[in-house]
Amino acid sequence: MAAARLTTLGIAVLELLHEKPMHPYEMAQLMRERHIDNRVKVKAGSLYHTVERLLDSGFVEVVDTQRDGRRPERTVYGMTEAGRDAFVERARNMIGIPAEEYPEYLSGLAVVDELGPEVSLNQLRHRILRLEAAAASDEVVVDRLLKMALPEIYWLDWRYATARRAFELEWTKKVLADLETGRIHFIKGGPANAALNHLPALFAAKDDENEQNG
Protein backbone atom coordinates (compact mmCIF):
# COMPACT_ATOMS: atom_id res chain seq x y z
CA MET A 1 0.00 0.00 0.00
CA ALA A 2 1.87 3.07 -1.21
CA ALA A 3 1.45 6.28 0.76
CA ALA A 4 -0.57 7.79 -2.08
CA ARG A 5 -3.02 4.87 -1.80
CA LEU A 6 -3.37 4.93 1.96
CA THR A 7 -7.14 4.96 2.48
CA THR A 8 -9.04 7.22 4.86
CA LEU A 9 -9.69 4.18 7.05
CA GLY A 10 -5.98 3.39 7.00
CA ILE A 11 -5.27 6.96 8.08
CA ALA A 12 -7.81 6.57 10.91
CA VAL A 13 -6.08 3.40 12.12
CA LEU A 14 -2.64 5.03 12.09
CA GLU A 15 -4.14 8.09 13.79
CA LEU A 16 -5.16 5.88 16.73
CA LEU A 17 -1.82 4.07 16.79
CA HIS A 18 -0.12 7.42 17.35
CA GLU A 19 -1.52 7.16 20.90
CA LYS A 20 -0.45 3.60 21.69
CA PRO A 21 -0.42 0.07 20.25
CA MET A 22 -3.87 -1.55 20.24
CA HIS A 23 -5.88 -4.42 18.81
CA PRO A 24 -8.58 -3.93 16.13
CA TYR A 25 -11.44 -4.42 18.59
CA GLU A 26 -10.17 -1.50 20.66
CA MET A 27 -9.76 0.54 17.49
CA ALA A 28 -13.39 -0.13 16.55
CA GLN A 29 -14.58 0.88 20.02
CA LEU A 30 -12.64 4.16 19.94
CA MET A 31 -13.87 4.94 16.43
CA ARG A 32 -17.46 4.59 17.62
CA GLU A 33 -16.89 6.59 20.82
CA ARG A 34 -15.16 9.40 18.95
CA HIS A 35 -17.66 9.40 16.06
CA ILE A 36 -14.89 8.75 13.55
CA ASP A 37 -17.60 7.14 11.41
CA ASN A 38 -18.75 10.72 10.74
CA ARG A 39 -15.83 11.03 8.31
CA VAL A 40 -14.80 7.43 7.57
CA LYS A 41 -16.96 4.45 6.66
CA VAL A 42 -16.17 1.95 9.43
CA LYS A 43 -17.23 -1.70 9.30
CA ALA A 44 -15.70 -4.53 11.29
CA GLY A 45 -14.72 -6.49 8.17
CA SER A 46 -13.17 -3.51 6.41
CA LEU A 47 -11.30 -2.49 9.58
CA TYR A 48 -9.65 -5.90 9.95
CA HIS A 49 -8.89 -5.97 6.23
CA THR A 50 -7.29 -2.52 6.47
CA VAL A 51 -5.12 -3.58 9.40
CA GLU A 52 -3.98 -6.63 7.41
CA ARG A 53 -3.08 -4.41 4.46
CA LEU A 54 -1.15 -2.07 6.75
CA LEU A 55 0.69 -5.07 8.16
CA ASP A 56 1.53 -6.42 4.69
CA SER A 57 2.80 -2.96 3.70
CA GLY A 58 5.07 -2.72 6.74
CA PHE A 59 3.15 0.24 8.16
CA VAL A 60 2.19 -1.63 11.34
CA GLU A 61 3.72 -4.56 13.18
CA VAL A 62 2.58 -7.09 15.76
CA VAL A 63 3.82 -6.03 19.20
CA ASP A 64 1.81 -8.33 21.48
CA THR A 65 -0.98 -10.87 21.77
CA GLN A 66 -3.61 -10.82 24.50
CA ARG A 67 -6.10 -13.35 25.80
CA ASP A 68 -9.00 -12.50 28.10
CA GLY A 69 -10.47 -15.67 29.62
CA ARG A 70 -12.05 -17.85 26.96
CA ARG A 71 -12.22 -15.09 24.40
CA PRO A 72 -10.19 -15.49 21.19
CA GLU A 73 -6.62 -14.27 21.29
CA ARG A 74 -6.28 -10.63 20.23
CA THR A 75 -3.32 -9.31 18.27
CA VAL A 76 -1.97 -5.91 19.29
CA TYR A 77 -0.48 -3.73 16.56
CA GLY A 78 1.93 -0.82 16.73
CA MET A 79 2.92 1.70 14.07
CA THR A 80 6.29 1.38 12.36
CA GLU A 81 8.54 4.22 11.20
CA ALA A 82 7.46 3.45 7.63
CA GLY A 83 3.85 3.77 8.75
CA ARG A 84 4.56 7.09 10.41
CA ASP A 85 6.23 8.41 7.24
CA ALA A 86 3.35 7.19 5.05
CA PHE A 87 0.85 8.74 7.44
CA VAL A 88 2.57 12.14 7.34
CA GLU A 89 2.86 12.16 3.56
CA ARG A 90 -0.76 11.13 2.98
CA ALA A 91 -2.10 13.51 5.65
CA ARG A 92 -0.18 16.43 4.16
CA ASN A 93 -1.74 15.77 0.77
CA MET A 94 -5.22 15.36 2.26
CA ILE A 95 -4.97 18.78 3.93
CA GLY A 96 -3.10 20.70 1.26
CA ILE A 97 -4.46 19.35 -2.04
CA PRO A 98 -8.21 19.62 -2.82
CA ALA A 99 -9.44 16.16 -3.78
CA GLU A 100 -11.69 15.50 -6.75
CA GLU A 101 -14.82 14.30 -4.96
CA TYR A 102 -18.13 13.40 -6.57
CA PRO A 103 -21.03 13.77 -4.11
CA GLU A 104 -24.27 12.13 -5.26
CA TYR A 105 -26.16 15.32 -4.47
CA LEU A 106 -24.47 17.09 -7.40
CA SER A 107 -25.69 14.42 -9.82
CA GLY A 108 -29.17 14.61 -8.30
CA LEU A 109 -29.31 18.39 -8.71
CA ALA A 110 -28.25 18.00 -12.35
CA VAL A 111 -31.44 16.02 -13.15
CA VAL A 112 -34.01 18.04 -11.17
CA ASP A 113 -35.66 19.23 -14.39
CA GLU A 114 -35.95 15.69 -15.71
CA LEU A 115 -37.66 14.56 -12.51
CA GLY A 116 -40.18 17.38 -12.73
CA PRO A 117 -41.69 19.68 -10.10
CA GLU A 118 -43.68 17.23 -7.97
CA VAL A 119 -40.94 14.65 -7.44
CA SER A 120 -38.08 17.15 -7.16
CA LEU A 121 -39.81 19.43 -4.65
CA ASN A 122 -40.92 16.51 -2.49
CA GLN A 123 -37.41 15.05 -2.43
CA LEU A 124 -35.84 18.41 -1.60
CA ARG A 125 -38.27 18.77 1.33
CA HIS A 126 -37.35 15.25 2.43
CA ARG A 127 -33.65 16.11 2.26
CA ILE A 128 -34.21 19.25 4.33
CA LEU A 129 -35.91 17.24 7.07
CA ARG A 130 -32.99 14.81 7.19
CA LEU A 131 -30.44 17.62 7.21
CA GLU A 132 -32.30 19.38 10.01
CA ALA A 133 -32.22 16.19 12.08
CA ALA A 134 -28.51 15.75 11.38
CA ALA A 135 -27.81 19.39 12.24
CA ALA A 136 -29.63 18.96 15.56
CA SER A 137 -27.45 15.93 16.31
CA ASP A 138 -24.38 17.95 15.40
CA GLU A 139 -25.33 20.57 17.98
CA VAL A 140 -25.62 17.91 20.68
CA VAL A 141 -22.16 16.52 19.87
CA VAL A 142 -20.53 19.96 19.70
CA ASP A 143 -22.14 20.95 23.00
CA ARG A 144 -20.77 17.78 24.57
CA LEU A 145 -17.30 18.51 23.20
CA LEU A 146 -17.40 22.02 24.61
CA LYS A 147 -18.45 20.75 28.04
CA MET A 148 -15.60 18.24 27.97
CA ALA A 149 -13.23 21.16 27.39
CA LEU A 150 -11.54 19.03 24.73
CA PRO A 151 -8.93 21.14 22.90
CA GLU A 152 -10.46 22.33 19.63
CA ILE A 153 -7.48 21.07 17.64
CA TYR A 154 -8.83 17.53 18.19
CA TRP A 155 -12.23 18.19 16.62
CA LEU A 156 -11.55 20.40 13.63
CA ASP A 157 -13.11 17.64 11.54
CA TRP A 158 -16.38 18.11 13.44
CA ARG A 159 -16.25 21.87 12.95
CA TYR A 160 -15.90 21.34 9.22
CA ALA A 161 -18.60 18.66 9.03
CA THR A 162 -21.13 20.71 10.97
CA ALA A 163 -20.39 23.85 8.95
CA ARG A 164 -20.73 21.96 5.68
CA ARG A 165 -24.02 20.40 6.78
CA ALA A 166 -25.35 23.77 7.93
CA PHE A 167 -24.40 25.32 4.58
CA GLU A 168 -26.04 22.49 2.63
CA LEU A 169 -29.21 22.85 4.70
CA GLU A 170 -29.51 26.61 4.12
CA TRP A 171 -28.56 26.30 0.45
CA THR A 172 -31.15 23.56 -0.13
CA LYS A 173 -33.84 25.62 1.59
CA LYS A 174 -33.01 28.53 -0.72
CA VAL A 175 -33.16 26.34 -3.84
CA LEU A 176 -36.47 24.85 -2.72
CA ALA A 177 -37.90 28.33 -2.19
CA ASP A 178 -36.62 29.45 -5.60
CA LEU A 179 -38.27 26.47 -7.31
CA GLU A 180 -41.52 26.84 -5.36
CA THR A 181 -41.86 30.55 -6.17
CA GLY A 182 -40.86 30.13 -9.79
CA ARG A 183 -37.72 32.23 -9.55
CA ILE A 184 -36.01 29.14 -10.99
CA HIS A 185 -38.23 27.66 -13.68
CA PHE A 186 -38.67 24.03 -14.63
CA ILE A 187 -38.09 23.73 -18.40
CA LYS A 188 -38.54 20.04 -19.25
CA GLY A 189 -37.14 20.05 -22.78
CA GLY A 190 -37.93 23.70 -23.48
CA PRO A 191 -35.86 26.40 -25.23
CA ALA A 192 -33.24 26.43 -22.48
CA ASN A 193 -31.83 23.23 -24.01
CA ALA A 194 -30.06 25.41 -26.57
CA ALA A 195 -28.11 27.06 -23.77
CA LEU A 196 -26.63 23.69 -22.83
CA ASN A 197 -24.60 23.83 -26.05
CA HIS A 198 -22.52 26.60 -24.48
CA LEU A 199 -21.50 24.51 -21.46
CA PRO A 200 -18.55 22.70 -23.11
CA ALA A 201 -16.89 26.04 -23.92
CA LEU A 202 -17.56 27.32 -20.39
CA PHE A 203 -15.98 24.29 -18.70
CA ALA A 204 -13.09 24.24 -21.19
CA ALA A 205 -12.25 27.79 -20.11
CA LYS A 206 -12.46 26.70 -16.48
CA ASP A 207 -10.08 23.79 -17.14
CA ASP A 208 -7.61 26.13 -18.86
CA GLU A 209 -7.71 28.47 -15.86
CA ASN A 210 -7.10 25.56 -13.44
CA GLU A 211 -4.09 24.41 -15.46
CA GLN A 212 -2.62 27.93 -15.41
CA ASN A 213 -3.13 28.22 -11.66
CA GLY A 214 -1.74 24.75 -11.07
Residues 6+ apart with CB under 8 A from 213: none
Summarised one tens digit per residue, pLDDT across range 143-198 is 988 898 889 999 999 999 999 999 999 999 999 999 999 999 998 755 555 555 55
The reported pLDDT for the residue numbered 181 is 96
Give pLDDT, residue 1: 45
Answer yes or no: is pLDDT of 86 > 70: yes
pLDDT tens for each residue of 2-11: 444 789 999 9
Q: What is the pLDDT of residues 117-149, one digit of tens each?
A: 999 999 999 999 999 999 999 999 889 888 988
Architecture of domain 3-96: Orthogonal Bundle (1.10)
Q: How far is CA 21 from CA 30, 36, 61, 121, 193, in A?
A: 13, 18, 9, 50, 59
The whole-angstrom distance between residue 207's C-alpha and the CA centroid of its chain comes to 25
Output the pLDDT for position 3. 45
What is residue 5's predicted lDDT score, i.e. its pLDDT?
Answer: 73
Report the alpha-carbon distance of residue 169 to residue 165 in Å, rounded: 6
- Whether the predicted pLDDT of 99 surpasses 90: no
User: Given this model, what pLDDT does residue 188 score?
Assistant: 74
DSSP 66-105: E--TTSPPEEEEEE-HHHHHHHHHHHHHHHHS------HH
Read off the pLDDT band of 210 (50, 70, 90).
Answer: low
pLDDT at 207 over 80: no
Inform me whether the pLDDT recorded for 72 exceeds 80: no
Model pTM score = 0.77
Q: Is the pLDDT of residue 65 over 80?
A: yes
Encode pLDDT of 10-32 as tens digits.
999 999 999 999 999 999 999 98
pLDDT of residue 43: 84
The domain locations on the chain are: 3-96, 104-213
| In contact, 14 and 134? CB cutoff 8 Å | no
Does residue 102 have a pLDDT over 60?
yes
